[in-house]
Amino acid sequence: MIARPPLRRIVVLDDYGDVAPGAADWSGLPVEFLHEKLSEAALVDHLHDADALVLIRERTAVPESLLRRLPALRLIITAGMRNRVLDLDACVARGIAVCGTDSRGSPTVELTWGLILALARGIPAQEQRLRQGGWQHGAGLGLEGATLGVAGLGRIGGAVAAIGRAFGMRLLAWSPNMTAEKAEAAGAVLTDRIGLFRDADIVTLHLGLGPATRGIVGATELGAMRLGALLVNTARGGLVDRVALIAALRSGQLGGVAIDTHDPEPMAADDPIRDAPNTILTPHLGYVTRQNVGLYFNGVVACLQAWRAGEALPRPLNGVAQAPQGNPA
């Protein structure tokens, strides 16, 4: 058994949809749920005496500049097993234990295909026309025989590609580190970045976001796309140059865009993408299913209970087994 200080205040950040309270049994835990995104200054004020912090994916960045201003913090739990906006090295230096939870990639795959189908067949516009008293107008894009360009063949991109094959689509693949062997294993043909955008009827993005990929889809890539081609982004909003995207939509170069991920999030009320034509916009729903949310928060509760019981933390991410009374100044 590991001797640990008690957790007197646990804060769950960014529960926009108010789903966390009902997703797990929080009985006996001194937990509070925040439903609005806070600035770093507001976080310092609100979390100055918090012992434990729960992060829902990458909704709030936790850099060293924030961690050093939270002297009571001993434990951070992040939904899933990867969080690119949490400074793990700073957590180690300050003796803050970090653990993750189980997660599924399938919900994002499902949403990706929901958006592809809605975009290709023009479902939102046709539905709206019908409600306004009209009937069918125009013809959508059939998937069989069409070309799907997949940017990134990781767990999610690979599953998206497999469904594309089931629809009888031709597959192209590209990422900064893609090999011909990996593309072939997914039933795709390796191409370069411009070739992916130039030759696909539909491009779907499944890349991680970092310095090398921020804004990787810009005016050049969008301008290379076939007239009327479609773009789907369920990965990260920062992959796409938003100004160039809106220009391509307004010019008619793109037939439509479906976007689930935005930069920043939550999206500002006056974001110009809200008024851009031929768009389907969703509020980062990719991983938000009842099953996945249950995995996240039951995993969070399991970690909190292990801490209180002095047991090894499940799914540790930084190897800190016990935090001292207050992390270093």
CA dist 240 and 235 (Å) reads 10
User: Residue 188 contacts by C-beta under 8 Å, 6 or more apart in sequence?
Assistant: 150, 153, 161, 171, 172, 173
Considering only CA atoms, give the Rg of the chain: 22
Q: Catalytic pick from 236, 242, 308, 315? A: 236
DSSP per-residue codes, 77-98: EESSS--TTB-HHHHHHTT-EE
82 part of the active site: no
3-state secondary structure (DSSP) of residue 202: strand
Which of 38, 15, 83, 99 shows the shortest CA–CA distance to 302?
A: 99
Is residue 122 packed enough to be buried (19+ CB in 10 Å), middle (13-18) or exposed (0-12)?
buried
Residues in the chain: 329
Query: How far from the centroid of its chain's Cα atoms is residue 43's Cα?
Result: 22
Tokens of 323: 């935090």
Q: Catalytic pick from 9, 104, 265, 311? A: 265
32 part of the active site: no
265 part of the active site: yes
Angle at CA of residue 294, ends 153 and 238, nearest 5°: 40
Tokens of 40: 């770093």
CA dist 90 and 196 (Å) reads 39
CA dist 131 and 147 (Å) reads 32
User: What does each C-alpha distance from 164 to 141, 220, 221, 226 come to in angstroms?
Assistant: 14, 26, 22, 19
Tokens of 77: 């739990």
Q: Catalytic pick from 74, 170, 206, 284? A: 284
Catalytic residues: 236, 265, 284
